[in-house]
Each structure stands twice: as structure tokens, then as C-alpha cells.
Structure 1
Amino acid sequence: MADRQDLVAHARGVIARGSKSFAAASLLFDRATRERVWLLYGWCRAADDLADAQDMGGSLGDQADAAARLATIRERTALALAGEPTGDLSFDGLGVVARECGLTAAMCDDVVAGFALDADDWRPRTQADMLQYCYHVAGAVGVMMAKVMGVPDEDADPLAGDTLDRACDLGIAFQLANIVRDVWEDDAAGRCYLPLEWLVEADIPPGQHMKPVYRAELVAMVHDACVLAHAYESSARIGAARLPLRSRWAILAATGIYGAIARKVEDAGIHGWDHRAFTTRFEKLRHVLGAGTACLRAVPDSCADEARARPLTRRDFAARAAAQRG
């Protein structure tokens, strides 16, 4: 197995290619946290790419053997958590960060459950279903990231559970931004993460939401998703205030960058998918500087009011997942 230094170098290359936004924000962490964040991101990116037969989040590949790829993800993850070599540096990196930060198999299972939904060609029927998917593929990652940043176990600190809830909320806000940005790309790949009940209410037949005749209705649905994202983002800002200064700065920078992507899609209206929304280097720098200023201020009272609008929390998602497992 490669040594830790090599695994960190590999993970740094992965995040640089896989997420320019998060790569930029990650530079604000202290060195130890930054390396662990890279290692965890490396596993997430490798597992996601394996699940979708893609490269660094690019176009989806052949989905015919999705079940076999999902089994590979589970096998390599189990080996990594057991401290065994996996044959994949990104999965080996998970083993290192899990041992250093107390990440558990249950945490990883929650993330892999999201890949399983895609492997089953799943579609959300309700808003709660859409948010449950966001929990698995991003909210659960937010919980793991919080552990990497030093948030203690829930039974060790009365406030830790609430902080983990809000870390989960940040992941959900990020994934909602991804959903509104990628509506066109997902449709081209035969996927849709907008709830069926939203499409029915808008009188849009399944699979037809990208047709020009329904563009106004689609814009309204994107607005609804962005309202949800804002509520979860506001909650996350409260939790971020409890992190060490440099971690807080990094998280607030990432929050600003991802939030800006969703706002760009929403502000573009019917032209929201003429090209893929992104933030420029100058915009990223502006969000980094703005986050630094925000670190020195109290969290606005409005965040608590806005956060109350989020319909489900980490505990709700955990309960739903347990019920689905039977």
C-alpha cells in the first residue's frame, strides 16, 4: 500500500481535477485538516465515478453493469476501513482518514446508499424523496467532513449532534445546487432528480421537462429548489460558526461559491441551461474574501429564521433510511 504522503498527493490531484470550487476553498484549511479533506474527497470522487462509469464527474458511461460496479465500491470501501490494500489509491486514502478521524462503516454506507439509488434507476416521487437522495449523496458526506474538521461524537458533546445536523444541511444545499445546474445534463443521461409530484403539479409529462414549451414551469421548479437550498444553507452557516477559524473560513467560502452557482441558474431564467453555470476565478476569490470577513462577524439572526423552513433534518433522513432498510 502507498504511504500517506503518496496518498495525499494523489488526493490533491483528484480534487484539483474533480472540483475547482472545493479545491479552492480547501486551501483555507490548516494543513492537517486540508489533507484529510482531500483524502475524503478522493474516495467520494472515485466512488461516484465508479458508480456512474465516468471520469471526474464527466459524461455518464455505459450503465449496463451498474450493480457490479456498486458491489466493487462496497468491497473496496470495506477493505479500506479494515486497513487492507484496495488496489485503488482513492479508496486506500479513505482508510487513512477513517482511522485518523473516526469515520465509520455506517457513515460510508449512508453515502453508498445514494449510489445504489442511481444503480436502481430510481426517481424521486416527492420532495422528501429528492431531499433523501441529497442526504445520501451529499448530506452524509457533510457529516463525514465535519468529523474530519474535529466535530466530536454526539455522545461526547451536547452541541455536537446539532453541529453534525447543520453539516448535513450544507451538503444538501450543495446537492440542490447541483440538481438545478445539471437538469439538462441529467435529462440527456436519462435521469431526473426533480420530484414527480412537482412535474405532475405543473402538468409536465415524465421525461418532457426539458422541452421548450415547459421552460417557464421548469424555471418555477428551479426557484422552489433554490428556496430549499437557501434554507439549508442558512442552517449550515449557524453550524459553521462553531468550527475552528480556518475550517469556518473554508466552509463559508465553499458555501458562497456553490450558492452562487444555484443563483446564477435561477437568475438566468429560461436561459439557465444555455451553458453550464460556474464561478470564475475572480468570483471565487470574492467569495473567499467575503467568507474571511464573515468569520469575524456574528451569524445574522435571519439565518435562524430561514433555517426553520427546511422541511427535513439529518435525524429525519436517518429515520427514513432505517425504515427503507426494514
Structure 2
Amino acid sequence: MKIKKLLLMILLLPGLIISCGKQDKEKEKLNKYNEYVKFYNDLRTGKMSKFYNTYIENFSDNDLNFKEPNEKEISLIVTLGTEIKYFSKRTEEIEKIIKKNPEIKEVEEYLTVFLNTLKNEKSVMNEIVNYYKNGEYKKDNFKKGKKLHLKYSENTKKSEEKYIIFKENMEIYMKNYKEESLQLLMNKGEKSQYYMIKFINDTDKFLEKLYESEEGEFPEEDLENLKKLNMSMKETYQKWIEIDKKSIENEKYNVDDYIKFRENSKEIKDMSDSIVKLIEEKSDEIYPQSHKFNEMYEKFINTYNETINKK
């Protein structure tokens, strides 16, 4: 089994919010980008999936076919109106963002199609809630409920297909935008954010290489590449910790928050060292430690996004 398959459910790392002092003409694009990142993060963390998870768990069998619910299970679904409102609110907010200038065609083409499937999905959610809330299932012995189940299943399948396409293109755009921002930060001499983002970028590359492995085994060439990526992380970390408080203040960061976040990066760096050592030793611990590394890094990125939002 590939490590990346073993860790499939935990490898969906949050998108990175960017703040790099762009000129006014670029700020609107930056704002749109960050809104799309927040929406992407909402999707990957399950904030948009609470209705789906509750419905599937209580109204489906193991093959996802309709399962006649009991009264307790019905009561769970009819109380999810708030979740549908949140689902609707977020999709409407993003639709408004898309209409603003400038265009980000690389993302918006696929995001628009995905949002259309979500609107259809929301419509069926409301039908399901109303059907059970009004007690119609008692009159028709779940006849319409079975049809709604099929309709909902078909809509969620379409949404998932379009989500995958949006996700793939969004991740490409985030990667490219991050690279562009790094270059801009270097040109402007904004080292506090430059080395922070570069460390994250280096870690991303390390993880990508790590999860390419078959059966947790690395040919000599791949191991050497992983070591190089690990070394790049350490070199960036060393330059990052040399950034002084005055530079941090000049870039308008909360110094205490910034330094605390930077201190947490040592744990990430040390863990990457441990991963490389485990691979060299051909240890079975590579699986649980890769899992731990991924969870640790996800928290690290979430903290980064919180730090940027305070700036």
C-alpha cells in the first residue's frame, strides 16, 4: 500500500492564506484568493458536510441504499435546518465573490460548475427535511422518501465529481500563487513572511515526496531527494529564526504570536529528520510517524492562517 493511500483521509491539508503587502491593484485579487482558500478549507474540514454525514449514517445501509429510518433517526434530520442555512450562506457568499473583479479563471470556471451542483443538492436537502418534518412518510409509507434518497444520492455524486475537478485546479493555483508570492516577498525584502512561507513550501514538497512511496520503501534516488528536501527545510528554518523582532514589527505582525508560531516550526523540522532516519532504518514506524507528522503539520498550517488573519 502506498503511504499516501494509507493516509488518504488525513492528507487533505488546509489551504494557505497569503498576505504579502501587494499594491492596491493586486489587493482585490489577493482578497478573492483568500476567500477561495477559506471556502476550500471549509469543504475539506467537513463544515459543509454535516447534513450529508447525518443523513447517510441514519438513512442508508452499508451499500448506501435507502434504509427505513426510525423515529429517533428522523428527529435527527429534521433539526438540521441550521446546517442547510450555513451550507446555503457559504455558497451564496462565494457566488458573490466570483462576480467581483478581477477574474481568476484558473479557479472560477470549475468553482462555478461545482457551486451549481451544490445548489441542486441544497434543494433536495430542503425537500428531505420538509418531507419528514411534515410527517408525509406516515401517509405514504416512505414511498417518496425512497425517491428523495435516490435523488439526493445522484446529486451528491455529481457534486463529488465536480468537487474533485475544482479541488485539483484549486490546489494547482494555490501552489503557483504561493510561488509567485514568495518571489514578490523576496523582491520587496519582506523576510519575516518570506521565510515563514518558504518553510511551509519546503515542508509541502517534503510531504509530497514522502507520500509517493510504494509500501513505505524508497529507492536510493528517492531517498536522496527526500534528504535534499529535508536539508532545504533545515536551511530555511535556520534563516527564519535569525529574523529579529524589529523586522517582524515592521511587517506588522504581532511579535509574540509570530515568535510562538516560529518556535512550533522546530517540531516540524525535527519530525522530518526522524522520518528520514526511519526510512534509512527501514522501520515499520514510518507509518504511524507519518500519520503523526501529517496531523502535526495540519495544526501548524491552521495556526499560520490564524496568525495571518490577525495581521
- Whether the TM-score (by the shorter chain) exceeds 0.5 is no
TM-score, structure 2 as length reference: 0.34
TM-score, structure 1 as length reference: 0.33
Which structure: larger Rg?
2
Judging by fraction of residues, say which structure has more helix.
2
